[in-house]
Amino acid sequence: MFTRSKKTLIAGAVASALAIVTVGAHANEVLIDKLYEKGVISDIEYKEIKADKPNVDPNALKGKWKGGFKWESVDKKNKFQVAGRVQMDYYDYDHENEESEYNIRRVYIGVKGTIDQIWGVEATYNPDASNLEYGFLDYKPSKKFITRFGQQKFYAGFEEGTSSRFVDFLERSVADGLHPGKQIGIQIFGEPVKKTFFYALGHYNGEGSNAGEANADNDGKDTMLAVAYNAAGVLGSSKDVIAHVGYATSQGSRDGGGTIFSLDGEARGDTFGTWTTTGNSFTRDYTNVVAVAAKGPFKFMAERTTVEVDADGSSGEVEASQMSLVWRLTGEPYAKTYSMKGMKGVKPNQTFNAKGGIGSWEIGIRKSEWDAQEAAPTGAVALAYAGSDLVKTTSLGVTWVPVEKVRFKANLVTTDYGDTQVGGETEEEAFIFRAQIDF
């Protein structure tokens, strides 16, 4: 039995602990209630302890692990996170044109933050390439309206909007290879209706990441518009179904000739096509259409991207498309990891750890096609195309996610170059593997 003096000592100790510890307040409240229920603390002592709560500085930071290393102020207005990823790949080709080797595909390290609720910042560095991947400032008074300034990803396609951490296969499809991708500029985007309607407006250099205008005589920027609609809510099954359609378009002009596009395959093998112009200037029009449908652990996606170029009166067009079907064997629904800008990471139903579990398993198949037969048609003297003008690729994939932040992927990629040899080959087969961690 506790004596009166011991009870008082315990009550005093608990009160002192509360005065010192500002993190885990809920746990302290539970402890006090338990002591009171067991009669260790009297009614008077219980009321005194409850009344004697410490003064907490609203600007004090508290840290936690929740999908990453994160800190936030007590009033939740200011947040800070250290984020990064490491992807190690292995490539094995059935020819000698490319090295079969281990390779560090990506290493990113950066910080993300929120200031006074409405301002956001991200700075992500790629030490392998020695350049900046992301560097932007957000004004975000609402998720319905966000303005982003700086180097960023422009949301001109669903697969492009999906992080490299969460794509269905190791590499994005050839349809994604024509996207604007990361650019320096301004983008306004938001979801007026959560997980139902999305829009994005962009204005950017059009020269790629870490690149300014190439010609001082013509500062031709690109302008982008993108919209997306998810009908799952209308169907009454938003928790289990995705019914997403998206459309994006952009247009820009350039002075001088040079390379319009140069693309390698989905196994990062030989460059199979290079599109160039000798014109004094050219305009570039981009269009992307995508449909994503999912029910439970099954997901289907179809995407088509078209780029039209006009150079001094010479017109050409390249089209790329893909269709994919994936299945999470362990049953995790795709709707749970869906966002209107792209897919997010899956949290396994049964994590793989020292106590057991199998993690999340996924299999998939993707068919894609690159069609450049109209890239430089007869009479288009200012346009030229070198390489295979009709490329078909089949990718078979398996993904294992033991825990939310770790994943392993293996793909078998077969590429048919048609009648045109690429590196002396008309077909390429590759096995590629990835081990990845992100935080």
Residue 231, classed as helix, strand or coil, is: coil
Handedness of CA 270, 273, 279, 280 (dihedral sign): negative
pLDDT over threshold 50, residue 15: no
* Mean pLDDT across 339-355: 95
| Long-range pairs for 76-81: beta carbons < 8 A, 24 or more residues apart | 77/114, 77/116, 77/117, 78/113, 78/114, 78/115, 78/116, 79/112, 79/113, 79/114, 80/111, 80/112, 80/113, 80/114, 81/111, 81/112, 81/113
> pLDDT tens digits for 226-260?
999 999 988 877 789 999 999 999 999 888 778 88
> pLDDT tens digits for 304-336?
999 999 998 889 999 999 999 999 999 999 999
pLDDT over threshold 50, residue 169: yes
* Mean pLDDT across 28-52: 75
Selection from 285, 282, 263, 283 nearest residue 274 by Cα = 263
Predicted local distance difference test score (pLDDT) of residue 264: 84
pLDDT over threshold 80, residue 8: no
Banded pLDDT at 55 (limits 50, 70, 90):
low
